[in-house]
A = this chain, B = another copy of it.
Amino acid sequence: MASQRFTHHISQQFDNELEAIRSRVLDMGGLIEDHLNKVLEALSNADADLAEDVANRDDQGNAYETEIDERCTEILLRRQPAASDLRLVLAVSKTITDLERVGDEVEKIGRIVLNLVTADVPRSFYLSLLSIGHHVKRTLHRALDTFARTDSHAAVQVAGVDPEIDEETNAIMRQMITYVLEDPRSITRVLDIVLAARAFERIGDHANNICENVIYYVEGKNVRHTALEDIEREIGTE
């Protein structure tokens, strides 16, 4: 079994503290997912107000990061955790950095959507962004789900989706090039769309990092620079 149960500590209070940081990460993840959903909704409905709302919303994510980071430092200081407890704290610390960066990317996408909508760019022009956006949204959700269930095997599976996102970004790049060749004045909008696609791609990278943090916590292995097949071989399949 790849799932990890909480070890029981002599101090119930310590168990509670560990459970609390885990649960705060999931709260933070929920908030960031909510922002991502909103930016996709703004894109889908050409909703300038909603896009502007998302473009100015990253403060909440930052506040979560600061709070959880302080809790992690407190635990390291007062509890001096070992083994899987230490790995949990370190995995949480890395995961909130990734989530905060996802929040930054969502904010950037919000600004771009606001540009596109207020410039009355036809919806057909940026439909491919919706497709990569929904793909990335599912990946982030699945990554957070492996964190919630501390399931390293699922984490390996989710981490494997990444190349598909890269392929979708490249398809958007090719499509945008044809738009510019047809009408060079589309260049400003094309640059917006290319940068939004790259921002979605980076959200996919962060989802991937979150999966690697789960694998590190559960298996005690740093797999950040390991090929997927090698990870699968190392931790075995179910």
Contacts and interface: CB of A to CB of B under 8 A. Distances in A.
Interface of A: 59, 62-63, 65-66, 69-70, 73, 76-77, 80, 82, 86, 90, 93-94, 97, 173, 176-177, 180-181, 184-185, 187-188, 190-191, 194-195, 198, 222, 224-225
A71 B197 CA distance: 37
Contacts of A181: 184-185, 187
Task: Give the dominant DSSP class at A's interface.
Answer: helix
B195 A184 contact: no
A69 B225 CA distance: 13
Contact of A86 (B73, B177, B224): B73
- The residue in A97, A187, A190 that gathers the most chain B C-beta atoms within 10 A of its C-beta is A187
A73 B90 contact: yes
Contact of A194 (B63, B90, B194): B194
Nearest to A98: B97
Contact of A184 (B65, B76, B94, B184): B184
Contacts of A222: 66, 69-70
Nearest to A63: B225
A87 B73 CA distance: 9
Contact of A187 (B82, B187, B188, B225): B187
Contacts of A62: 224-225
21 contacts: A62-B224, A63-B225, A69-B222, A70-B222, A73-B90, A77-B82, A80-B80, A93-B93, A94-B97, A97-B97, A176-B191, A177-B187, A177-B188, A177-B191, A181-B185, A181-B187, A184-B184, A187-B187, A187-B190, A194-B195, A195-B198
B224 A65 contact: yes
